[in-house]
Amino acid sequence: MDTKKEAGRRIKQAREARGYTLKAVCDQVPGLTVSRLSNWETGLRMIGVDEAKKLAPVLGLSAADILTVELGATRQTTASYAAYSPEEIHLIAFLRRRKLRPERVEKVIEEFAHLLKG
């Protein structure tokens, strides 16, 4: 797995799930430029730890979510963001801001997915 591309995919997916443009994110992170953020999202450059710490709260993620190769290594959940739609990722970010336990987040996501399927 290409770590730069995977981190970039997670950043872009979280940004789009929140409905943010590149500029909207950069406006919330002091010193971040659109070209730098774009380089991370496309996998041209790897985001650093300090940068991930500044960016993560804007996207509703943790720095570990952005930087680790396997998402499950940072959470007590086996679910991967790749399995979720943008709407579900937005819901995950919302629930994490509410400080819910990971197992409760999983349960709510399952219920949400069931509702989406009708």
What are the sequence ranges of the domains in the chain?
3-117
- Mean pLDDT in residue range 29-34: 96
Torsion of CA 12, 64, 33, 98, to 10 degrees: 80
pTM, two decimal places: 0.60
% of the chain exceeding 90 in pLDDT? 37
Closest CA to 37 of 45, 68, 16: 45
Two structure tokens written together for 6: 């995977």
Return the CATH fold of 3-117: 434 Repressor (Amino-terminal Domain) (1.10.260)
- Mean pLDDT in residue range 22-31: 95
